[in-house]
């Protein structure tokens, strides 16, 4: 089952093609993450899918609806956390969840949502007295109040402290566990790595790469990096493999076959009776791959 189907989506603002021919397919139950630099067109794309903006070209289907015309039936099944939004400042946290929740035919209880986002202590506080991160948590709760089948999260954890971010991640994980579909934009690579089943990187209105967090941009085939401290009494020329760089006594080796390289290095260390201090092996991180992808796009 497909939750979101987008073909040749185009949105222009004056002469700017903010979204320039995007194709997307998101399966039901998938956590899909859109990554991309500021101004890449993420929010524009997401808001077209939500029905907030109209496209200029291409076809869009969300839960079988045309979002621009979906109306009430469509909105009863989606949950929205906008990148930039606000809540009635004069109402309390509980009141806001009550009044927005009551418009849905199927709703999650206010108390449960308050607990879910960790706002128990603020349940009767006016919205205007909340801190930025607390308000953002309330907005996340509001996105879930209608027990939606599909949740749009546009930078949902911006402004969260680290523990609140972890808490939000587990909320999203739970939603995914319940079979909900989630479209997430974020600038945090660890967030995408942790949550996303699939990622699309968008730059200047076009998708430049798509894949799972582990395979995006050929990440699984990229060379691994091995690092360690040069053993006392040894020099670089003693090593069995040429390092790509050395700095502050640390050696860095890039190798397409890290197993073989490690075997050579550790055998050499054992034979010579030395220790490879601070030894580590790393695949390029999602961030490395991402920066390369959007860097390429900016350069070309």
Partner 1 sequence: MAAERPSDLALIWQQTRYQNKIFWRTPIAAFFTLVFPLMFLILFTAIFGNEEISGLGVTTAQFFAPGLAVFAAASATYTNLAIGTAISRDNGILKRVRGTPLPPWIYITGRVVSAVYIGALAVVIMMGVGVAFYGVNVYWRTIPAVIVTFLVGVACFAALGMLVAAIAPNGDATPAITNATLLPVAFISDIFIVTDDPPAWMEALGNFFPLKHFGDAFRAAFDPTLTGAQFHWDNLGYMALWGVVAVVLAARFFKWEPSKGGGRRQKKREKAGA
Ligand X SMILES: Nc1ncnc2c1ncn2[C@@H]1O[C@H](COP(=O)(O)OP(=O)(O)OP(=O)(O)O)[C@@H](O)[C@H]1O
Residues 6+ apart with CB under 8 A from 203: 36, 37, 40, 293, 294, 297, 298
CB of 33 vs ligand X, minimal distance in Å = 13
Q: Given the complex with partner 1, which of 13 and 270 has the nearer CB atom?
A: 13
With 0-12 / 13-18 / 19 or more C-beta atoms within 10 angstroms meaning exposed / middle / buried, residue 90 is exposed
Asked if 109 touches partner 1 (CB under 8 A), the answer is no
The DSSP letter of residue 76 is T
Residue 41 binds: one of Mg ion, ligand X, partner 1, none (C-beta under 5 to 8 A by kind):
ligand X
Give CA separation, 258 vs 15, 100, 254, 270, in Å. Answer: 49, 54, 8, 18
Asked if 135 touches Mg ion (CB under 5 A), the answer is no
Binding residues with partner 1: total (CB under 8 A): 29
| Contact set for partner 1, span 40-69 (CB under 8 A) | 50-52
CB of 19 vs ligand X, minimal distance in Å = 7
Helix-helix angle 132-144:93-101, to 10 degrees: 20
Asked if 212 touches partner 1 (CB under 8 A), the answer is no
Asked if 167 touches Mg ion (CB under 5 A), the answer is no
Q: Out of 26, 40, 60, 80, which residue is the one contacting partner 1 (CB under 8 A)?
A: 80
Residue 253: other Cβ atoms inside 10 A: 22
CB of 59 vs ligand X, minimal distance in Å = 19
Alpha-carbon gap, residue 33 to 11, rounded angstroms? 20
Q: Which of 51, 54, 66 is nearest to 5 (CA)?
A: 66
Q: Out of 2, 12, 61, 83, which residue is the one contacting Mg ion (CB under 5 A)?
A: 83
Q: Which residues pair with 19 in a beta bridge?
A: 11
Count of alpha carbons within 13 Å of 181, Cβ hemisphere only? 16
Note whether 202 and 35 are within 8 A (CB).
Answer: yes
Alpha-carbon gap, residue 179 to 181, rounded angstroms? 7
CB of 284 vs ligand X, minimal distance in Å = 23
Give the chain's largest Cα–Cα span: 74
CB of 156 vs partner 1, minimal distance in Å = 15
CB of 98 vs partner 1, minimal distance in Å = 8
The DSSP letter of residue 242 is -
Tally of residues, the chain? 300
**Which residues would be at the binding site for ligand X (CB under 6 A)?**
13, 16, 18, 36, 38-44, 83
Contact mark string toward partner 1, 132..171, x via CB under 8 A: ----------x---x-------------------------
Asked if 124 touches partner 1 (CB under 8 A), the answer is no
Asked if 75 touches partner 1 (CB under 8 A), the answer is yes
Per CB under 8 A, residues contacting partner 1 are 50-52, 72-73, 75-76, 78, 80, 82, 84-91, 95, 99-100, 102-106, 126, 142, 146
């Amino acid at each position: 089952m497909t939750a979101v189907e987008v073909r040749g989506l185009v949105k222009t603002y004056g002469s700017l093609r903010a979204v320039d021919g995007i194709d997307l397919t998101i399966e039901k139950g998938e956590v899909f993450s859109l990554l991309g630099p500021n101004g890449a067109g993420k929010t524009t794309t997401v808001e077209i899918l939500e029905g907030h903006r109209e496209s200029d070209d291409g076809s869009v289907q969300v839960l079988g609806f045309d979002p621009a015309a979906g109306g009430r039936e469509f909105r009863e099944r989606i949950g929205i956390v906008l990148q930039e939004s606000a809540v009635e400042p004069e109402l309390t946290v509980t009141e806001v969840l009550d009044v927005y929740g009551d418009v849905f035919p199927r709703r999650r209880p206010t108390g449960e949502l308050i607990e879910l986002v960790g706002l128990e202590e603020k349940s009767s506080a006016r919205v205007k007295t909340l801190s930025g991160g607390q308000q953002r948590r309330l907005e996340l709760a509001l996105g879930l109040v209608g027990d939606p089948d599909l949740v749009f999260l546009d930078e949902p954890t911006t402004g969260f402290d680290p523990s609140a971010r972890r808490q939000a991640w587990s909320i999203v994980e739970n939603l995914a566990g319940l079979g909900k579909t989630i479209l997430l934009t974020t600038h945090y690579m660890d967030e995408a790595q942790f949550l996303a089943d699939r990622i699309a990187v968008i730059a200047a209105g076009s998708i430049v790469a798509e894949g799972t967090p582990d395979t995006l941009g050929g990440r699984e085939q990229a060379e691994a990096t091995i690092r360690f401290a040069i053993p006392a009494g040894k020099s670089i020329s003693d090593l069995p493999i040429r390092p790509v760089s050395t700095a502050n006594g640390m050696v860095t080796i890039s190798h397409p076959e890290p197993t073989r390289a490690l075997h050579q290095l550790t055998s050499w260390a054992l034979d010579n009776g030395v220790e490879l201090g601070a030894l580590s092996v790393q695949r390029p991180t999602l961030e490395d791959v991402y920066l390369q992808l959007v860097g390429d796009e900016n350069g070309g």
